[in-house]
């Protein structure tokens, strides 16, 4: 049998355990607020407020020197828990709470200031149970700046580009020949129109499927003017089916002017340009039907195209037409390259009008833009070299 423990022995044991627990509780320090935690932190100093530079007004930047008790990071042992930014319109007036920042912060951006009003700022350091305030800053007003000097280099580059364009326009007007590299697709325009004239077949011009609010459509209509002028000189048959009513009107006016400039206004007929439909594939089907029935000798695709590009170009290739395409849509370029004889790629579409017309203003603008491209490429090259050598901040060279 197991021996019994007497009640007296059990009580002594319990008393001993209880005594140990009480003694342990008395020996463990109770977490109380130390005297240093109850004292306010040192106040921030050197509070300065200034109008935010290079802005449109309505903002003030406040900087200060953080509290001497601030270790600079958000941590439990940091006596400073954060800062409050106070604002008033009088140095001895009532200050309103503007915003808060974390410990370690030494600046604040006041984006709710009104222009031409004096403001005073104080910074309040927040402790665990107490706080301290800085002296007020000097008065400051928010004002709109006339010039954003942070963009001076952008302005300089834009000025160089503008002067380059003006210079080359003047050079072109004086009769100086400006070099522009040959674009095979544009060199073939006259040959394509001549071929159609010899064969007695039509020339179809497709200005894309977008409206006149698209730059590619505008470029396509501009090129149409040059093609129409050559067509008038050769007395070839030109036909322009469109998918937008506004494009139809623009093309009619462009062709009418081109025929007049060529001295053949009598050859112009409004029915040369007509509207089919706004529907993308309805328009594609209608144009494909025209290609198959009319069997044109030359087809021009100049403008913005989407999925219909391959369908149209394949049909034109099937009927044996010489095709000259141009678009700024990267996804459609492979289809035109595969199915057309010549393709204007990207910027060649926008340069085509200057190339064909040889207008001094257009040529000068084109050459001036080339100067701008050269400058940008130069800076990209220099930046890549500096990056390769681990230079990330050019200010190290300016000190």
Tokens describing residue 296: 């044109």
How much is the average pLDDT of 182-188?
A: 83
Per-residue pLDDT reduced to its tens digit, 337-391: 999 999 998 888 888 877 777 778 888 888 888 888 888 899 889 888 988 888 7
Of the two residues 354 and 51, the one the predictor is more confident about is 51
Domains present along the chain, CATH in parentheses: 37-133 (2.60.40.10), 178-358 (3.40.50)
Per-residue pLDDT reduced to its tens digit, 123-181: 999 988 888 999 999 999 999 888 888 888 888 888 888 888 888 888 888 888 777 77
For the cut 70, the answer to whether the pLDDT of residue 31 exceeds it is no
Segment among 58-62, 317-321, 344-348 with least mean pLDDT: 344-348
For all residues of the chain together, what is the average pLDDT? 87
For the cut 80, the answer to whether the pLDDT of residue 258 exceeds it is yes
Segment among 110-114, 117-121, 164-168, 369-373 with least mean pLDDT: 369-373
pLDDT for 33 equals 46
pLDDT for 10 equals 61
**At which residue do the structure tokens 């160089």 appear?**
160
For the chain, percent of residues with pLDDT exceeding 70: 90
Strand partners, 86: 97, 122
How much is the average pLDDT of 72-96?
A: 88
> In which band, very low, low, confident or very high, does the pLDDT at 271 lie, cut at 50, 70 and 90?
very high
> In which band, very low, low, confident or very high, does the pLDDT at 392 lie, cut at 50, 70 and 90?
confident
Is residue 76 within 8 Å of 37, Cβ to Cβ?
no
Of the two residues 36 and 391, the one the predictor is more confident about is 391
**At which residue do the structure tokens 């910074």 appear?**
123
pLDDT for 6 equals 52
For the cut 90, the answer to whether the pLDDT of residue 302 exceeds it is yes
pLDDT for 1 equals 46
Dihedral (CA of 137, 141, 142, 148) sign: negative
Tokens describing residue 386: 């500096």
The model carries a pTM of 0.63
């Amino acid at each position: 049998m197991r021996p019994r423990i007497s009640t007296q022995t059990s009580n002594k044991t319990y008393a001993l355990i209880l005594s140990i627990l009480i003694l342990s509780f008395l020996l463990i320090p109770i977490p109380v607020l130390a005297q240093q935690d109850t004292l306010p932190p040192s106040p921030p100093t050197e509070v300065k407020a200034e109008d935010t530079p290079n802005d449109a007004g309505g903002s003030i930047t406040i900087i200060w020197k953080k509290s001497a008790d601030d270790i600079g990071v958000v941590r439990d042992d940091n006596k400073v828990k954060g800062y409050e930014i106070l604002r008033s319109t009088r140095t001895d007036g009532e200050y309103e709470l503007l915003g808060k920042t974390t410990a370690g912060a030494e600046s604040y951006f006041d984006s709710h200031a009104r222009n031409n009003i004096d403001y005073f700022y104080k910074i309040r350091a927040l402790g665990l149970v107490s706080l301290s305030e800085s002296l007020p800053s000097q008065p400051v007003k928010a004002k709109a700046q006339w010039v954003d000097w942070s963009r001076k280099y952008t302005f300089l580059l834009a000025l160089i580009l503008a002067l380059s364009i003006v210079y080359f326009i003047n050079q072109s007007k004086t009769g100086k020949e400006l070099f522009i590299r040959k674009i095979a697709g544009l060199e073939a325009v006259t040959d394509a129109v001549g071929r159609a004239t010899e064969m007695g077949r039509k020339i179809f011009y497709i200005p894309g499927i977008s409206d006149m609010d698209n730059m590619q459509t505008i470029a396509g209509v501009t090129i149409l003017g040059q093609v129409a002028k050559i067509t008038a000189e050769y007395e070839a048959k030109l036909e322009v089916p469109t998918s937008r009513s506004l494009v139809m009107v623009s093309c009619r006016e462009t062709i009418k002017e081109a025929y007049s400039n060529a001295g053949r206004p009598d050859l112009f007929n409004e029915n040369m340009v007509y509207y089919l439909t706004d529907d993308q594939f309805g328009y594609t089907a209608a144009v494909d039907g025209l290609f198959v029935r009319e069997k044109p000798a030359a087809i021009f695709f100049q403008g913005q195209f989407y999925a219909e590009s391959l369908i149209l170009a394949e049909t034109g290739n099937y009927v044996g037409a010489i095709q000259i395409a141009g678009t700024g849509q990267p996804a459609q370029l492979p289809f035109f390259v595969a199915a057309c004889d010549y393709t204007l790629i990207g910027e060649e579409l926008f340069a085509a009008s200057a190339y064909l017309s040889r207008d001094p203003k257009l040529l000068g603008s084109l050459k001036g833009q080339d100067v701008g491209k050269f400058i940008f490429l130069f800076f990209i090259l220099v930046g890549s070299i500096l990056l390769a050598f681990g230079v990330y901040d050019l200010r190290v060279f300016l000190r």
